[in-house]
Amino acid sequence: MAPGNSCTGTVVDLGAGPYCVGDVLNAPVDAINNSWSDLSTGTTFNIAVAGSIGLTSLFNTGCSASTTASASASPTVIASATDLTPCEGENITLTGSGADTYVWDNSVTDAVAFTPPTGTTVYTVTGTETATGCSTDATISITPDALPVVNYTEATTTVCDYFTPINLTEGTGWWNFQWNWCYWKHIRSCTNSRQL
């Protein structure tokens, strides 16, 4: 930015850029009057749209100075996951989109699989556009499902005949069961697992 001064040595400094939609610009603290490009006169300016921003400030010396700045649009960042409700212990991948680079909190790396902790965790990604330096945050909530506790009941507890049937009953609360059988001499054992 190149300030245009009406008094030698009088300048208006809006601070270091880049300037992005959503930022707030501050007029000089020693200015007694301010005029922004949208005709507002406050000490701050909320950037609502991309484009050029102008400020003229009057100081108690009677001198005034003007400056301009250019604001860029902030990216629209979206956070996504391969699964919002994975089973406990399963890996998921979080991915950002809408910008050029992405930084996640909670030690997550963009597009790299990890195992989320139990309970609900809210993850925040900051997406930044390389050309403008503007960034936007997005969040996503992950809640792993608890693993099922599966029980079975056996009608016959002692089996002496290899061909004696054993009746097994699935537990309740789950929609699909898979029975796995093992045979060794005259002993039958069974495990039950939830099928996802």
Give the CATH number of the domain where residue 27 resides: 2.60.40
pTM (predicted TM-score)? 0.68
Of 142, 168, 186, the one marking the end of a domain is 142
- 114 and 166 fall within a common domain: no
Give pLDDT, residue 26.
92
Please list, in sequence order, all residues whose beta carbon lies within 8 angstroms of the beta carbon of residue 56, skipping any fewer than 6 positions away: 12, 34, 35, 64, 65, 66
**Does the N-terminal peptide bond of residue 75 adopt cis geometry, omega within 30 degrees of 0?**
no
Of 18, 37, 72, the one marking the end of a domain is 72
Q: Are 69 and 56 in contact (CB under 8 A)?
A: no
- 60 and 92 fall within a common domain: no
Give the count of domains, the chain: 3
- 138 and 85 fall within a common domain: yes
- 112 and 129 fall within a common domain: yes
Reduce the DSSP state of residue 33 to 3 states and report it: strand
pLDDT 10s digits, 112-166: 999 999 999 999 999 999 999 999 999 999 999 998 776 665 555 555 555 666 5
- 64 and 110 fall within a common domain: no
Spacing of C-alpha 57 from chain mean position: 39
- 111 and 127 fall within a common domain: yes
Range of the domain at 190: 153-194
- 163 and 128 fall within a common domain: no
- 162 and 182 fall within a common domain: yes
More confident residue, 141 or 196: 141
Give pLDDT, residue 14.
83
User: 92-105: b or e for each residue (b if 16 or more CB lie within 10 Å)?
Assistant: bebbbebbeebebe
Q: Which of 72-81, 168-177, 179-188 has the highest mean pLDDT?
A: 72-81
- 13 and 61 fall within a common domain: yes
